[in-house]
Structure 1
Amino acid sequence: MHNDQPIGIFDSGIGGTSIWKEIHHLLPNEKTIYLADSKNAPYGQKSKEEIIALSIKNTELLLKMNCKLIVVACNTATTNAIRELREKYDVPFIGIEPAIKPAATHSKTQIIGILATQGTLNSELFNKTTEKYQDTKIIEQVGHGLVQLIENGDINSPEMTQLLTSYLAPMIEANIDYLVLGCSHYPYLIPQIKKILPEHIHIIDSGEAVAKQTQKILQEKIGFSSAEKTEPIFYTNTDSKVLSKILENKYTVEKIDF
């Protein structure tokens, strides 16, 4: 079964490209369309109603572009809006939520840390997930300011190092052995985080799991592309330079208003 329609991916900015990279790596023949809603980043400080409205706006644009499946490459949008999106549209949605399960399952100290946005940590879906792991102590930390710095291209700035150190120090002190990255922007901070964390602390993000789930849905329900190779399409609604830079200037990024 073949289906040559594109896969749509959206995020509150450039962070979801960490998810896109995993999908593109696993499914290189699939055409992908990526929306960076940087104008409205970060979603983590917005109300649930605002997050749902923005997620609907992004979804409708991707549906106009004939997408066969939509990946919500944003933890905040997934945890606050995916239920509404699934109720409203027929297209399959794949969400991204913090990888609490593998961290809690493999933790030896039974203490794990999660770095995420306010919107994710406050969400009903996140709280339902954490309730399943009563035996594990979960240390939550809101990553205030991290998304803005990443969106501005300041990944390796002294300000970023200072913020990360202040967020991670209490977790190290509490003896975590797993750190869960609960925002699709944060994998870009892994080199910085590794400099701060002791070597025995494992870092987990959701990218690979999302790519595998995308593959599974295509296989079981929708069909793979018959194309040999396709060029991904990237759209942003702000200056395209930061998105181009994070993609190592390998792809064309188009600025459109949405």
Structure 2
Amino acid sequence: MTIGVFDSGIGGLTVLAEALKRLPTQNYLYMADTLHVPYGTKSKDDVRAYILESIEAMVREGLDALVVACNTATSIAITELRERYSFPIVGMEPAVKPTVEMNRLTGRRVLVFATPLTLMQSKYYALVSRVDEERIVDSLPLPELVSYCEKLEFDREIMGNYFRDKLAGYNLQDYGIVVLGCTHYPFYKNLLREMLPPHIQIVDGNAGTVKRLAALLSRYGMMDGSGIGNVRFMCSGNSPAYMDKMQRALGIYQNSDIEAQSAK
């Protein structure tokens, strides 16, 4: 059995890493739409076409389930993908609902980091409108961050200056939670932990997404456990250099996650 994981670039590797931890006896096919990354600064119609083309290429390789490991792609195409394909499909959305519930009694606000395109979608607006009755959610577009991540730019000084500039207009004492609303952003979680005041929690949707995947696989009787955690990589540009970068990026993220866990 093969579980597909799709993203515009390397961001979905943060979801894949979570799946490898929680579902290690499955096999995975990871697809990056390298010809068109980043999605967050492009038009909705163009991105929709890119997504459908990429998923179709994955289906030709053989899929039993799919994780759309991209908030922007989920908001634009998840409904159409579920209409097209009969296998289980899990999407992502910024973890606004649980963080609003967590913060409701603290008197502090929630700050959502996301791509401009995600923040412009009606799906995101509807989500916030539905759960944010007390109007404690603020949204911060970070249009450059995906491109930094795609370049494997993790220099602490460069990225620290970037985040300080973006957060300059915010009183961080007002906030209790920062939501990482793009799967690229957890690559910077450790740096953000060091920069943000200690009372701020940093939340992403990866663990919840993989839990939903596991529940769906169980419901459909697909938790056969016959895989070995094998990962195959694809990219729309068929670039050997990008294939190598995906493997390196997965290792970087997994090592940083191990370091963060051991530091607790």
So what's the TM-score if we normalise by structure 1? 0.90
Report the CA distance between 1:47 and its aligned residue: 1.2
1:110 Cα offset (Å): 4.2
Name the counterpart of 1:245.
248
Distance between the aligned counterparts of 1:234 and 1:228, measured in 2? 16
Runs (5+) with no aligned partner, structure 1: 251-258
Matched, 1:77 2:73: yes
Which residue number in structure 1 is paired with residue 49 of structure 2?
53
Are 1:235 and 2:234 matched, yes or no? yes
Please report how far the alpha carbon of residue 78 of structure 1 lies from its aligned counterpart in structure 2 after TM superposition: 0.5
Q: Match of 2:186?
A: 187
Aligned sequence identity (%): 29
Q: CA deviation at 1:222?
A: 4.5
Task: Report the AA paired with residue 33 of structure 1.
Answer: L
Q: Structure 2-normalised TM-score?
A: 0.88
1:27 aligns with 2:23: yes
TM superposition shift of 1:228: 5.2
Does 2:150 align with 1:151?
A: yes
Match status 1:91 vs 2:64: no
The alignment of Structure 1 onto Structure 2 pairs a total of residues equal to: 247
Question: Shift of residue 122 of structure 1?
Answer: 0.5
More divergent stretch after superposition (54-63 vs 24-33): 54-63
Instruction: Give me the whole-angstrom Cα distance separating, in 2, the residues matched to 1:213 and 1:88.
Output: 20
**What SS does structure 2 have at the residue aligned with 1:43?**
coil
Within 5 Å, give how 1:199-214 maps onto structure 2.
Answer: 199-214=198-213
What is the root-mean-square deviation in Å for CA atoms of aligned residues?
A: 1.9
Given that 2:27 and 2:227 are in contact with CA atoms closer than 8 Å, whether structure 1 keeps it comes out as no
**Cα offset for 1:174?**
6.3
Distance 1:118 1:30 in 2: 34
**Residues 60-112 of structure 1: CA deviation (Å, up to 9, x unaligned):** 11111110111100010001111121122222210011000111001112411
Which of 120, 134, 138 is the aligned partner of 2:118? 120
Bigger mean CA offset, 103-112 vs 14-23:
103-112
- Contact 1:68 1:222 (C-alpha < 8 Å) held by counterparts: no
- Greater shift, 220-229 or 94-103, is seen at 220-229
Q: Which runs of 5+ in 2 are unaligned?
A: 254-264
SS of residue matched to 1:34: strand
**Conserved? CA contact 1:75–1:182, under 8 Å:** yes
Counterpart Cα distance in 1 of 2:161 and 2:107? 27
Q: Distance in 1 between matches of 2:158 and 2:79?
A: 36
